[in-house]
Chain A
Amino acid sequence: MTPPSSAAPAPSDDGAATDAREHATDPPPVVRATDVTKIYTRGSDPGRIGRLLGRPDAPKVRALESASVAIEPGEIVGLAGPSGSGKSTLLHLLAGLELPTEGTVTFQETDLESLSTRQRTRLRLEHVGIVFQHFHLLESLSARANVALPLVELGVRKRDRRERAERLLERVGLGDRTGHRPGELSGGEQQRVAIARALVTDPTLVIADEPTGELDTETGRRVLDEFERIADDRAVVLASHDRPTLEIADRIVRLTDGTIRGDDET
């Protein structure tokens, strides 16, 4: 699916117009967050009756405050910061898993807010690969079936699904484990299956939330090698507070208390 195009705002002054001309040949960022703020409600809303009965409004938590970041094709960006700093929130916003309370997130120049939930789901299917800290593979399916599952949604034929899944598992070093179920694989192998699943639709953006959080140092290193290999021409965003994980990043965005405190190339 090609993201529906959104009308880009017209440059408002000469300087901006010049800037736009200078970058006309640059490929646009894969995803861009502009002044995004995310506020969560803790607990349930009391509703009208609850308010009449004097139930206080649920407390709000400001997880992210006016954050702006652009992810270019081919780069690996690390999101660093302590727990509760807003890394995961920013990651989820970039992946279209959530919408910001304020600000905009554009994916290949499409404002995600303009898409319906179904369209955003389809966009993730076609353009975003996600790797979770806890792998989240279907225990009942083989590694090959887990990897091939997203292709079902794209209407890919069974034989092609199988071939593509096996090729990717081969690429992540699990060519001889394609028929094994997750329970028969080590943590590192499961994470590599998850990486293969994230890549199977050939996404332009791969996001990973603490991808080595469940792995020992050696296994984590091998998984990070995979991330370096897959970067090629796609963008990778890793959220972690683990130094070795962040070392593979081309750029590190540092967050503290929901605010971006730094955006530095490594």
Chain B
Amino acid sequence: MGGLRAALGRLRVAGGITVGQLRHHRLRLGLAIIGVGLAVLAMTLLAGVGMGVLETGEQQFEAADRDLWVTAGETRLTPAGGGGFENSLTDSRSVAAEMEGQDGVANAVPLAFETVYVGTDSDGDFQTFIGTGVPGTGSIVQVSEGERLSGDPHYAEGSYDGERTNEVLIDEETARALDIEIGDTIHAGGSLAAARNNEFTVVGVSPTFERMLGAPTVVMPLSELHQATGTTQTEPATFITITVEDGADTDAVQTALSESHPEYEIRSNQEQLEAVLEEQILVLAAGGALIVLALVAGVALTHTLLTLVIFQQRAAFAALSAQGISSSLLVASVVGQGLAIGLIGGLVGLVLTPPAVELLNRIAAAVVGFDGLVQTAPEILAAALAVAIVIGTIAAALAGWRVSRTPPLEHL
């Protein structure tokens, strides 16, 4: 009982030293807290970016309001220009028509993403954008301003001699980049020569593909994209997107399509996202590395800060140690400082996280068109706080232990 009371008494004194040291060195305390807070912020934001990439990708696939995605081979991004998916699904219109004839399929729509040169003047500079080809009036495309595409008459049952509409939809990023608005004309094509010869009129603004791809796009009738890129013979598409009929079992339709078209990959939204991400192994590796780096940086920064804080007190502790104060009392007071700085710094980091996420998301939305690119989850916040507290405490304990193990005269 007496031993317990003595231990509690020592703990109270250690706590008193902890509070005293923290209150007395307010600038040092403030800087340490800010440092740990920033470490926590770095962890939550970097982890939030990794999580946001996955979440945003899934949301974009969901937002496309498709049930199944048909691809032929890889769906990787091409390295050229503004990007675009590998268009390995050829003769896409025929394949889509076949699939549309199967039970449970409401419609099958080929989508092509091609890199195109776009400029406002046939003799001026051209920039690369993602040209998106959609069949018909582009009913899957959401129009926020202006009008829809009027149709795809140029296809003319595969003869490509129907009337051209010369209509395009743009998104806000494209409008900003080219300084154009509805009613303006642009030149677009798969080569500079083709671009100079193909004039289009902007009829509306659509955010659909900018959100899906995270890059500026121009949307035009599929046949006119194939014509502008010189691919009318093969009619390539990136995907065929399928909407199942109301009440139909998506899994059953997927299975039936897979059996009737074994040469194609037929995936759900989630499977398609995973397939895209799997092929973007470098992106995933970079995202994973960011999260690991965030953790390592947070741990290193917290450890260094706490070690510095404790080492600044080594002379005073050495003097006490020389006088016979036990290392356990000194380490206890130091652990208290680590715990307090880790906890307060961690909480500061958590408080700063939501506004920082909001700011980054606004920037990301303005620059690349993705909403909610950085996302947080309670698990991320809890993990970051735990790292701050645990590492802060352990780092302080280690530093205190090292100080207490060093002969006091070395510090005096």
Contact = CB atoms under 8 A, between A and B. Distances in A.
B64 interface: no
Interface stretch (B34-42, B312-320, B365-373): B312-320
A149 B320 contact: yes
Interface residues of B, number: 28
A245 B6 CA distance: 40
Contacts of A163: none
A51 interface: no
Main secondary structure of the interface of B (DSSP, over half): helix
Given A98-B409, A136-B316, A140-B21, A130 B9 contact: no
A134 B321 CA distance: 15
A138 B320 contact: yes
Interface in A73-112: 92, 95, 97-98
Given A92-B409, A98-B407, A132-B412, A126 B324 contact: yes
Interface stretch (B10-18, B212-220, B375-383): B10-18
B325 A150 contact: yes
Contacts of A130: 319, 322-323
A114 to B, nearest CB: 18
A98 B410 CA distance: 11
B229 to A, nearest CB: 66
B261 interface: no
B24 interface: yes
A197 B323 CA distance: 9
Contact of B324 (A98, A122, A136, A155): A122
A215 interface: no
Given A138-B17, A140-B21, A97 B322 contact: yes
B256 interface: no
Interface residues on A, range: 20 to 34
Interface string A196-224: 01100100000000000000000000000
B27 to A, nearest CB: 13
Contacts of A150: 323-325
Interface of B: 6, 9-10, 13, 16-17, 20-25, 315-316, 318-326, 329, 407-409, 412
Interface of A: 92, 95, 97-98, 118, 121-126, 128-130, 132, 134, 136-141, 145, 149-150, 152-153, 155, 157-158, 181, 197-198, 201
- For the complex of A and B, the 6 pairs showing the least CB-CB separation, nearest first, are A125-B324, A136-B319, A140-B24, A140-B20, A124-B324, A155-B6
